[in-house]
Structure formats: structure tokens, C-alpha cells
Structure 1
Amino acid sequence: MASTIYVINPNSTKAVTQGFDQALERLRVPGGPRIQCLTLESGPAGVQTQLDVESVTLPLVQMCCELPDDCAAVVIACFSDPGLHVVREVMLKERGVPVFGISECGLLTAMTMGQKFGVIAILQTSIPRHLRTYGAMGINDRLAGEKAIGLGVTEMADKATTLQRMVAVGNDLVHNHGAQVLVMGCAGMADFRDELQAATGVPVVEPTQAAVSMAMGRILLGW
């Protein structure tokens, strides 16, 4: 019986994979599916532009098609949801395996926790790309705002600076824009959920956790 959720980091920065792997530890429960985190070795250091998004799409398709037979679900762990629709189409058709994007899942989860959500992005240039997703999902009226911390994926290795900026942006979204729940707009932020939630006083969605939680529900309920 298929029993593993494969969580794939489309960038080649293994520290990002290690970060969300650790954040997923609390979802590794007796009787639940196994959670295996992988890195797309050929990916860029960070998926930070539309070119980066497009460049990893076909490699993700190939990587997913080559996953072991125990694959019960796939999670694409990047907030741009690169390749989500084509990977989903291929995996459902060829193997009957559901595919989840952390942006889609994180946003849907946030909307169950508050009327208005705010998103913390890494770079200002990421925001237009994210806004296209919100528009396609039809959820613009639920968005309180999105602001960037001004750090790229590899720069987030400076944890003190990253957390300081995330807290500042998070509090701005909450107190000045009316966000009732925050979504971390990068898989590389996974280490900071608990601290950010404590500092802002509102629920914080770590989107890889949200996506894996949805995948677990699908598997356990047989949907």
C-alpha cells in the first residue's frame, strides 16, 4: 500500500529542505503516512523569479514520475507553486497520486483561521507573482496585504536578521493592514513559525505544514 508523502524542495538549497523537514516532525505520528523530504538538485539556489519557476517545472515532472511505488502524495514546497498544475495532471493521470502546492494549501488554511490574511514575502519582486496566484484563486478580497522582508533564500541563513524582519513585517500587516492571520510566503521560513506567532499574537500558517496536513487527510480518509 502506498504510504509516503514526498515533499520536494524545487531549489537546491538543502538548508531550506532541512528547515521544513524539521517543521514537519510534529506531523510524523504513529499510524500516519511516512513523510520524506527531497531536494531538486538541479534547481536554482532559490525560486525567486518567473524564470526560476519555469526552469524547474519539467525537472519536477521528471522527478515526480520517478518517485518510488510507495508514493501516496506529492507536496511541492515552494510558495510560487512551480509546476503544480502540470505535475498534478501527470501524477493523477499516470499514478492516481494527488499533488499539493504549499501556496494554495497555505492560503486555503489561512482563510479558515481569519477573514483577512497577510503574507510575508522574501523579496518585493516576488509579490506580483504571488498576486497573480491570489487573483487566479479568486481570493483578493480576503488579502489584507503582502510585504517583503528584503532577503533572498540564501540570505535567510542569517536567522537573527530574518526573524527580526519577519516580526517587523508581520506586526505591520497585523496592526496597520488588519491581518488576522499571517502566511509565511517561503518554505525557507519554516524555522520561524513559533517565534513569529508569539511576537505578533495572531495565528501563523507555515505552508508546508498546511500542505502536508491536507495530504495526510486525503490519504487517511481515502479521498
Structure 2
Amino acid sequence: MSASVYVINPNSSQAVTSAIDQAVAPLRSADGPDVVCLSLADGPPGIQSQRDVDSVIGPMLCKASELEGSAGAFVIACFSDPGLHALREQSRRRVFGIAECGVVNALTLGQRFGVIAILPTSIPRHLRYFGAMGVMDRFAADLPIGLGVAELSDEDRALGRMIEVGRTLKDTHGADVLVMGCAGMARFRADLEEAVGIPVVEPTQAAVAMAVGHVRLSYPLS
């Protein structure tokens, strides 16, 4: 099977890309497509504003164009799904955004999903997107941990804040499934799920699982 799943982290943080690569490792198999995780060198260190989201679309489309010939699918590994529809328009391959896939996955695991955001400024973007997806009747709440992408490297602090926010989403807002609202949170999924006691969706894993399934069904095994 020669077609690859390209997971594009639209920021320039290699630490985030490495965490994503580790999170999706269980989805790799000897007879499956390669899952290739890469950073966008021209991207900001973290995507934390609408301006950041808008700024990465052009470079990401260029990078995807370079990879088109060997791609079986693309995954945009940012919870704002920057350039999702533009890349779907550009590419002949399937394109998966982690926010869309994470929410869709959550809807199969619970009745009301809660989202753990990084910063308060992320929430308006999320709400616009959930409204466009038509899922607000299944939405519990979206709460921030108050840490930027770079600050997620302080693992004890980040996990502690995520557990605190996750419990609030569950106990106060009635969420019975959580979605991690940043690709940089990937390494905390199992610990968060154990601490809060309800399913936790890591959205890059959700998107890559869908992408791998699509490639396996679309490209016969050699």
C-alpha cells in the first residue's frame, strides 16, 4: 500500500508534531498506509487566534500540493480546521479536519459533548464551527484551561488544569464525553480519561483513524 496519510500540523512546533506522532502510533500497521506527521515550517509556534488560523491556510495548501502525488488522505491537525474546505477543493484526496472528526466521534460515545479549550479566545472560533456543523443541541460547554500551546510542555500543570476543567464539564455542565480542543493535548488523553471517568476523544487520533480506514478501503493491498 503506497498511499500515505499526511498529518499536517499547521504550526511550526516540532514538539507538538512529535506528540501527535506518538498519539497516532497505535493506528499504524505493517499492511496499512504510512502515517506521516509533519510541521508547517512557515506556521506560527502555536495557532491561538483567528489571525493565526488565516495565516497558515496558504502555506498549508502549498505543502499539501507538494504531497498530493503520494497522498491517500490528508489530516489537518489543528482544532480550528484551517483551510479544510479549501484543501478539499484543491485535492483529489480525502481531507479530514480534527475538530470535525473529533466532534463526530464524540457524538457516537455520548449524548452531550464538552470541549477543553486552551485559551478563552479559542472558544468563539469553536462555537462558530459547532454552529455551522449543526451540533449545538448535543453541546454541553466549551471551557479553557488558560494555557497557550507552548505552556502545554509543563505536563503536570497542563494535565492538572485539564482534569479540573474536565470534571467541571462533567459535573456542572452535564457532559458525558469530552473532546480535547487542541492537537497539543494529545499525550494527555489516557490520563485525563482515567481521572475524569468519561470517554475522552483526542481529535487527531479520531481523524487519523478515519483517514486510515478510508485509505485501506480505497487502495487495494499489494
TM-score surpassing 0.5?
A: yes
The residue aligned with 2:34 is 34
The CA distance in 1 between the partners of 2:68 and 2:101, in whole Å, is 24
The CA distance in 2 between the partners of 1:19 and 1:11, in whole Å, is 13
Normalised by the size of structure 2, how large is the TM-score?
0.96
The CA distance in 2 between the partners of 1:2 and 1:133, in whole Å, is 34
**Structure 1 segments of 4 or more deviating over 4 A?**
none
The residue aligned with 1:155 is 151
The residue aligned with 1:135 is 131
- Give how far 1:26 is off: 0.6
1:192-217 deviation digits (Å, cap 9, x = unpaired):
00000000000000000000011111
Matched letter for residue 129 of structure 2: T
State, as a whole percentage, how many aligned pairs show the same letter: 57
Q: Aligned runs of 1:166-177 on 2, under 5 Å? A: 166-177=162-173
The CA distance in 1 between the partners of 2:150 and 2:88, in whole Å, is 28
1:57-91 deviation digits (Å, cap 9, x = unpaired):
11111110001622100000000001111011101
Question: 3-state SS of the aligned residue for 2:166?
Answer: helix
Is 1:120 matched with 2:116?
yes
**The one of 184, 191, 207 aligned to 2:203:** 207
The CA distance in 2 between the partners of 1:206 and 1:58, in whole Å, is 26
The CA distance in 1 between the partners of 2:68 and 2:60, in whole Å, is 15
RMSD of aligned residue pairs (Cα, Å): 1.1
The residue aligned with 1:18 is 18
Matched letter for residue 62 of structure 1: C
Q: Aligned runs of 1:5-84 on 2, under 5 Å? A: 5-67=5-67, 69-84=69-84
The residue aligned with 1:110 is 106
Is 1:4 matched with 2:8?
no
Q: Structure 2: where are the runs of 5+ without partners?
A: none
Aligned positions, number = 219
8 Å contact kept, 1:44–1:52: yes
The CA distance in 2 between the partners of 1:185 and 1:139, in whole Å, is 16
Matched letter for residue 158 of structure 1: D
The CA distance in 2 between the partners of 1:54 and 1:98, in whole Å, is 21
